[in-house]
Structure 1
Amino acid sequence: MSQTELREFDLNVLAPNGLRRGRTTGSCATAAVKAALYLLLHGERHAQVQITLADDTHYLTVPIQDCRWLNEHTARADVLKDGGDDPDNTHGATIFAEVRRNNEGQIRFFAGSGVGTATQPGLRVAVGEPAINPTPRKMMRQAVAEVSDNKDQGFDLIIGCINGEAIAKKTFNPRLGIVGGISILGTSGIVEPLSLASWIASIEVYVRVALGGDDINSIALLPGKIGRTYAKEALGLPEQRSVQIANFLGDALDFLQQALAEQQRHLDVLWLLGHPGKLAKVLDGVWDTHSSRSDMAMSVVARVAGERGFDSRLVQELEQANTVEAAMERLKKETGAQALWIDIEQRIAALVHQRVPAVKKVEVRLFNLQGESLGAD
């Protein structure tokens, strides 16, 4: 689809919960790359640019804060990060891109000042690579293709963040082995306002809608998009019976119990579907799973592995893994891995059930980032 056929994603249109969406660091970096390329290749300074979003069906218009030559071979553009009504540590930061030609015929990514570099395995980028995730890289490559007339010309894209090293100290990056600054993130290019108190109130509405109807015997709660396919295809649940709850598992369970008690009814099955990086935190008594309010879940996985008799060296490796995803990769080699994840699923289910006694049965399914089942089928 050419850019002229894309539909605009209008950030002025509020999300369903009445909050304002924002642009990810990945969208900001992509816009900076595109603006710098316009100056480098065409001598044009743009006050705003249109970038193609990750779904390849929408574009986003992004204002450019500054665009200038650094030298005769390099152009730079700056973009202000606006997280909408879901501000995070990078909200208000300046993301910049320095762009220059290379003779390699490839698009190469580099960490500029304030953007980190991966030093440990288990992340979505290789060790030694700048902490720029796959989706932002895809979007930046698309931006190059849209501006450059020469498909064989290579470019170096140097992505940075003003004061990024200080900002990163407020994030998990140091523990993840990302040194030198922030990560350039985003899976869609759009920040959905899911983590504010006002979103909690909307979850109650979604839960009650999911329970609507006398013949409803099961619903699903999903912290994120992972598990959505399972809910639809394996469980056959219509969309309105799968509730996106963001990080607010405890609140969602309380809303569910309250609604069932008011209606003096029971629910046969509650499905809880998602990534263990969120859901396993329940085993530490954590019901608000936002990263700023809870530790990461590797210690939980390691603890259960130890209780199940896994080798002490493996347990230590799991404990010291820089992400839950890295722990999952390590466990792939173990014959008892599936049984371990099933055990974790069952433990989560038991704790959740205590919070929603009006539910007859709680079923938990854990998935990796690719949506592949880890435990029970």
Structure 2
Amino acid sequence: MSLAERSEYDLAVLALNGLRRGRTTGSCATAAVKAALNLLLAGERCEQVKVSLPDGVHYLLVPIQKVDWLAADVVRAEVLKDGGDDPDNTHGATIFAEVRRNDARQLRFFAGRGVGTATRPGLRVAVGEPAINPVPRQMMRMAVAEVLDEALAEQADAGFDLSIGCEDGEAIARKTFNPRLGIVGGISILGTSGIVEPMSMATWIASIEVYVRVALGGGASSVAYLPGKIGREYARDVLGLPERCSVQIANFLGDSLDFTQKALEEEGRTLDVLWLAGHPGKLAKVLDGWWDTHSGKSKMAMAGVARVAAELGYPAPLVQEIENANTVEAAMEILKSEPGAQAFWMEIERRIGALAHARVPAVKRLEVRLFDLAGNSLGADA
């Protein structure tokens, strides 16, 4: 869908929990790229730009804090990161883009000051690449295409270097998992929807109880809890659950299970099946007793995964490699070539399920399904 056909995503409309949504670092960086290009190619200083969102339907109107020439062939634009009511480490940070033409006739991404570089495998970007995730890169490519299409169609094959940075990004990154992940030099440019949903809040925990009660309402026999968007298609297409019976619980797995037990006790009934579906980077933290999976309140999941591998008799060097992996996604790559990898993840699912089930005795059966970042099943097939 072209930009002209899209409708504005209105951030003034509050999320269901009554909190204000915000803009991801990916949306901010994309807006900065677009503003810089408008000055570089058309001599136009924009006070705000329209950023096409990955949903294919909406655009986001983003204010530009500053845009100016750095040199005869380089423009820098800045955007103030507004994360809404979510307590994001990058809220209030200045995200900037420095844009210049290149002779390669390609769009190339660089880590500017305050944006990190990947130094270990298992991340969404290759080793040596700037920590700009795939969806923000896609958004920036679209923004460049839109500026070229609207203003300079004859330069449609032009190449540009996009250097994305963040003021004080190196200090901000020390408050995140980036150093542990092997991302050095600053923050990551993130986002899968372009919109920050205000989930990591005490108020959001209270609203989860409402969502849980709605899911259980009407005598539902099966519900699914999802830490994020991974697993949503499984709940809808494979399990056939209506939308109200799939609850996005963010980091609050323990609270969600407690709310479930409380609601079922009050109704004096049991639930046939509770599904937990998502990425093991979140759900496998339960193996080490972490029920709030927020990065600031829990450790990463590799130690628990490695411990299970050791208990199942995997060779000690492999177990050590899993434990030293910078992400669970990297651990998946390590295990991918091992015989019995699917059985291994099924055992992880079983153990997570047993621990979670102990917290909700009013549920007859609790099933766990784990998926990689691309949505591929790791363990049980159905």
TM range (shorter): over 0.9
1:176 corresponds in structure 2 to: 181
2:134 maps to amino acid: P
1:241 maps to amino acid: C
2:192 corresponds in structure 1 to: 187
2:328 maps to amino acid: V
SS in 2 for 1:110: strand
1:200 corresponds in structure 2 to: 205
Instruction: Confirm whether residue 302 of structure 1 aligns to residue 336 of structure 2.
Output: no
2:34 corresponds in structure 1 to: 34
Question: What displacement does 1:87 show?
Answer: 2.2
Match of 2:217 among 197, 212, 215: 212
2:71 corresponds in structure 1 to: 71
Question: What displacement does 1:78 show?
Answer: 0.4
2:274 corresponds in structure 1 to: 270
Q: Please list every run of 5 or more consecutive structure 1 residues that lacks an aligned counterpart in the other structure.
A: none
- CA deviations over 1:97-121 (Å, ceiling 9, x no partner): 0000001100000111001111111
SS in 2 for 1:211: helix
2:259 maps to amino acid: F
1:120 corresponds in structure 2 to: 120
SS in 1 for 2:218: coil
State how far apart, in whole Å, the 1-side matches of 2:109 and 2:352 are.
40
State how far apart, in whole Å, the 1-side matches of 2:68 and 2:237 are.
51
Question: What displacement does 1:376 show?
Answer: 1.1
Question: What displacement does 1:234 show?
Answer: 1.4
SS in 2 for 1:204: helix
- CA deviations over 1:191-210 (Å, ceiling 9, x no partner): 01111011111111111111
Question: What displacement does 1:350 show?
Answer: 0.9
1:4 corresponds in structure 2 to: 4
- CA deviations over 1:48-85 (Å, ceiling 9, x no partner): 11111112211000001111100110000000011001
- CA deviations over 1:164-195 (Å, ceiling 9, x no partner): 11111111111111111111001111001111
State how far apart, in whole Å, the 1-side matches of 2:172 and 2:66 are.
21
1:49 corresponds in structure 2 to: 49
Trace 1:350-365 onto structure 2 (pairs within 5 A): 350-365=354-369
Superposition RMSD in Å: 0.8
1:79 maps to amino acid: V
1:259 corresponds in structure 2 to: 263
State how far apart, in whole Å, the 2-side matches of 1:37 and 1:194 are.
33
Instruction: Confirm whether residue 160 of structure 1 aligns to residue 186 of structure 2.
Output: no
State how far apart, in whole Å, the 2-side matches of 1:113 and 1:224 are.
30
Instruction: Confirm whether residue 132 of structure 1 aligns to residue 137 of structure 2.
Output: no
TM-score between both structures, scaled by the size of structure 1: 0.98
1:62 corresponds in structure 2 to: 62
2:174 maps to amino acid: K
In the alignment of these two chains, the number of paired residues is 376
State how far apart, in whole Å, the 2-side matches of 1:361 and 1:124 are.
34
- CA deviations over 1:334-353 (Å, ceiling 9, x no partner): 11211111111111111111
State how far apart, in whole Å, the 1-side matches of 2:125 and 2:218 are.
46
Instruction: Confirm whether residue 283 of structure 1 aligns to residue 290 of structure 2.
Output: no
Question: What displacement does 1:360 show?
Answer: 1.0
Instruction: Confirm whether residue 250 of structure 1 aligns to residue 254 of structure 2.
Output: yes
- CA deviations over 1:127-152 (Å, ceiling 9, x no partner): 11111011011111111111122111
State how far apart, in whole Å, the 2-side matches of 1:159 and 1:231 are.
37
SS in 2 for 1:270: strand
Instruction: Confirm whether residue 82 of structure 1 aligns to residue 78 of structure 2.
Output: no
2:372 maps to amino acid: N
SS in 2 for 1:213: helix
Q: Please list every run of 5 or more consecutive structure 2 residues that lacks an aligned counterpart in the other structure.
A: none
SS in 2 for 1:165: helix
Q: Percent sequence identity over matched residues?
A: 74
SS in 1 for 2:358: helix
Match of 1:292 among 282, 292, 296: 296
Trace 1:103-114 onto structure 2 (pairs within 5 A): 103-114=103-114
State how far apart, in whole Å, the 1-side matches of 2:287 and 2:265 are.
26
SS in 2 for 1:185: coil
SS in 2 for 1:45: coil
State how far apart, in whole Å, the 2-side matches of 1:234 and 1:286 are.
28
2:232 maps to amino acid: R
State how far apart, in whole Å, the 2-side matches of 1:366 and 1:113 are.
36
Trace 1:140-155 onto structure 2 (pairs within 5 A): 140-148=140-148, 149=152, 150-155=155-160
1:224 corresponds in structure 2 to: 228
SS in 2 for 1:355: coil
4+ residue runs of structure 1 moved beyond 6 angstroms?
Answer: none
SS in 2 for 1:364: strand
State how far apart, in whole Å, the 2-side matches of 1:44 and 1:231 are.
47
Question: What displacement does 1:224 show?
Answer: 0.8
